[in-house]
Amino acid sequence: MQPATIATIAKGLRGSLSKEARIMTATEDADSPAFQASLSRWTYINKQTPSAIIQPACEADVELIVSMIKEKIPFVVKSGGNSPWSTIDSSGLIIDLSLMNNFTVDMARETATIQPGVLSKDINWMVGERGYCIQTPTSALVSCVGFLLGGGSSFLNGLYGMAVDSLVSARVVTTKGTVVCSEKENQDLFWAIKGAGQFFGVVTKIKMRIYPLKDEEGPLSWTLIFPSAKIKEIAAVLEEVSKGEQVIRSPGMAMILAFPGQDKPVIMVNLTHFRPEEEAEKIMAPLLALGPVQQIKKVIPWANMTDSSDMLAGHGGFKTLHSCGMKEFDGKKFETILELWEKIDKEIPGAKGCVFLMNWFSLDAMKKKGPESSAWSHRDIGLWNMHLINAQDKASHDAAIALSKENFEFCQEDLPESERSLFPNHWRGDDVVERRFRGEGILKKLRELKALWDPEGVFTNQFLLR
């Protein structure tokens, strides 16, 4: 279909949508601030310009849009603009959910109801002000709903499991209309959206549990910075700090990066403690004994939990975040990500902004939910080896990605193919689906449900056998 025809069809919806809804076309509005703001994404990789952008203001708008264009025009759905798949060229349009940004907190039932345009900073503030915490992204500008649909890994993994484990119900616009799914209604769809939700419809509202946060539980963020020359000593200590029951309330990460204006990498270790400070001090003691050059220790209000990631949250640039799963922290493998940083720094001058980290957490809460509970298939993964590729141009980006993937293969070489994993929400389009949705049973069920709920591939062809 020609771009002009797509624009005409989109504009033809104006009289049927709510007054608050917006419709913009590339031919008329491409240079407008509103069009450019809607087009903005966390990365410029694969950034494209659609023929039109439609911003629904309510669920009825979404249902009407999907029903009117599902057989005519390809589309993608966008909320926070962080997902790799929220972009399309002039052959289609974007349904931008950013106007659907309402949320409420029910203290009596200890739940939050959230629309897809809500970003993590806003809901964290409201929940934190009431003495609660919630499983949300670690970045302020990520959609809570989009985050949850891909599983939802957070600071609270050890205490309450993945975000999908706290999902109570959801409203979903499917090709068959709007449905409610929960443990009592449309259970099969409820299972699927908990880990693969974006491939089955447009989720217009979720209800999820929130949890009381006691004053003595912090969270206490404790960050230590070391010179990279100490990596062997640090790796040896982290092999112990990252294990045992203590990790339930003290998840952590170890990061390799160079601070702005610096050309030498440092190792930054952070543990977030949901426990009294005196208990945290005992856990940190082996790391403190290594003599960090700097340490930052402070209690973080829940409203500010994303602040430390703000420098990585801005839109634009040639960036990719992707990750591979590991069973536990491995010091030798941690040393390889410093080697990777140094190799990219030396060989790819246009990719000097890369950041590499290993993020570990307890599996106790996750293992209480079996594979039958959701499409999230990584309940045996206690650590994510995460690579933020940040380059000045696409060629540098792609060269760094190639080296990054080599590191992933090395870090998983001791695992059989069936146990190798990639984080679903970090899908780049060319990754192996069997590593994002592991296990023959889970993938088979997803394919059966796709054939039932979206046989024509309106919400991408993912899981369709064609």
- Cα separation, 25 vs 46, in Å, equals 20
pLDDT value at residue 466 = 56
Predicted confidence band at 122 (pLDDT cuts at 50, 70, 90)? very high
Residue 270's domain is classified under what CATH number? 3.40.462.20
Amino acid identity for residue 277 in this structure: E
Please say whether the beta carbons of 305 and 124 come within 8 A: yes
CB 337 within 8 A of CB 358: yes
pLDDT of residue 371: 75
In the chain, the percentage of residues whose pLDDT exceeds 70 is 99
Query: Is residue 189 pLDDT above 80, yes or no?
Result: yes
Count: domains in the chain = 3
Surface-to-core class of residue 410, CB atoms within 10 Å of its CB (0-12 exposed, 13-18 middle, 19+ buried): middle
CA dihedral 342, 344, 345, 346 (to 10 degrees): 90
Task: Check whether residue 266 and residue 155 sit in a common domain.
Answer: no
In a domain, 393, yes or no: yes
Q: What's the pLDDT score for residue 139?
A: 85
The CA distance from 269 to 155, in Å, is 15
79 and 29 fall within a common domain:
yes
In this structure, the answer to whether residues 390 and 407 fall within a common structural domain is: yes
Tell me: pLDDT of 311 over 60.
yes
Amino acid at 255: M
Using alpha carbons, select from 83, 82, 125, 85 the residue that is nearest to residue 105. Answer: 125
Examine the domain organization and report whether 56 and 131 are in the same domain.
Answer: no
- Of the chain, the end-to-end C-alpha distance in Å amounts to 22
Geometric angle at alpha carbon 339, from 333 and 345, rounded to 5°: 145
DSSP-based three-state secondary structure for 306: coil
Span 107-125, average pLDDT: 96
**CA triple 53-144-114, angle to 5 deg:** 90
* Whether pLDDT at 158 is above 60: yes
CB 224 within 8 A of CB 287: yes
Question: Helices (H), strands (E): how many in the chain?
Answer: 15, 18
Task: Decide if 450 is inside a domain.
Answer: no
User: What letter represents residue 145's amino acid?
Assistant: V
- What span, in angstroms and rounded, lies between the C-alpha atoms of 53 and 39? 8
**More reliable by pLDDT, 466 or 355:** 355
195-240 confidence digits (pLDDT tens): 999 999 999 999 999 999 988 888 999 999 999 999 999 999 999 9
Residues 426 and 401 sit within 8 Å (Cβ to Cβ): no
Q: How many residues does the chain have?
A: 466
Final residue belonging to a domain, choices 96, 129, 149 = 96
Provide the CA 382 distance to its chain's centre, in angstroms.
Answer: 17
When the pLDDT of each residue in the chain is averaged and rounded to a whole number, the result is: 94
pLDDT of 427 reads 67
How much is the pLDDT for 140? 85
Angstrom CA distances, 312 to 70, 139, 163, 344, 387, stand at 35, 8, 22, 19, 12
Range of the domain at 150: 103-213
C-alpha count within 13 angstroms, C-beta hemisphere, residue 81: 21
Residue that terminates a domain, selected from 40, 62, 96? 96
Of 177, 197, 213, the one marking the end of a domain is: 213
- C-alpha span between 443 and 271 (Å, rounded): 34
Strand, coil or helix: what is 48?
coil
Mean pLDDT of 85-93: 92
Helix (H, G, I), strand (E, B) or coil at 67: helix
Task: Please say if the pLDDT value at position 428 is more than 70.
Answer: no
pLDDT, residue 432, reads 84
Residue 134 falls inside a structural domain: yes
pLDDT-based confidence at residue 429 (cuts at 50, 70, 90) = low
Is residue 464, in this structure, part of any structural domain at all?
Answer: no
At residue 139, the 3 state secondary structure works out as coil
Mean pLDDT, residues 75-81 taken together: 93
Residues 32 and 174 both lie in one domain: no
What is the C-alpha separation between 233 and 238, in angstroms, rounded? Answer: 9
pLDDT tens column, 19-41: 999 999 999 999 999 999 999 99
Residue 138 has pLDDT above 90, yes or no: no
In 249-334, DSSP assigns E strands to 252-257, 266-273, 294-299, 318-326
How much of the chain, in percent, has pLDDT values that exceed 90? 85
